[in-house]
Amino acid sequence: MKKRILLFLAVLFIGLSVFLVKKYVLVSEKDRILRTMRSAETFLEKKDHVGFMKHLSMEYMDDYGHTWATLFFYVKSILTHYDDIKISLSQVDIEIKGDGKEKKAVVRFMAEVNAKGAAGESFSDLGRFTAEMKKDGTRWKVTWFGENPYMFY
């Protein structure tokens, strides 16, 4: 009986170890970037501007002149005007450049936003965007964000 319990615990330990290694150690950089994007999306839907800003590098700068600090207050202000926010990312394309400490990524994607204002009005928008990211330790953070104009050929 003791041997069976010991064997069961050993198998359970090995199974759990394999699961954890696959989930946290053998994750590709593209998967880590996608997790970062999905996490940022979730924080916006929860209207948690502090959690969202943890996904941006302190070196953040965009074409509109926003830095990390100005964007902090801008996002906080915008989120107060909406009660229900749903964001959907699609057509995500990730290109990783460099290696080691200089790893950078360019992420192109479509985003659809549906929201309800505090007064009950609905808002919906769809756009194509590009985010530049850099690896900060083991985490990926956004350093630049911009909208891609639609092009008709």
Query: For the chain, which residues make up each domain, given as ranges?
Result: 28-148
CB atoms inside a 10 Å sphere around CB 94: 20
Class level of CATH domain 28-148: alpha beta
Each residue's pLDDT expressed in tens, for the chain with a length of 153 residues = 677 777 676 677 776 666 555 555 568 999 999 999 999 999 999 999 999 999 999 999 998 899 999 999 999 999 999 989 999 999 999 999 987 778 999 999 999 999 998 888 999 999 999 999 999 888 999 999 999 876 666
Quote the distance between the C-alpha of residue 2 and its chain's center: 47
Q: How far, in Å, CA of 77 to CA of 139, rounded?
A: 27
Do 59 and 143 contact (CB within 8 A), yes or no?
Answer: yes
Q: What is the pLDDT of residue 27?
A: 84
Q: How far, in Å, CA of 150 to CA of 125, rounded?
A: 14
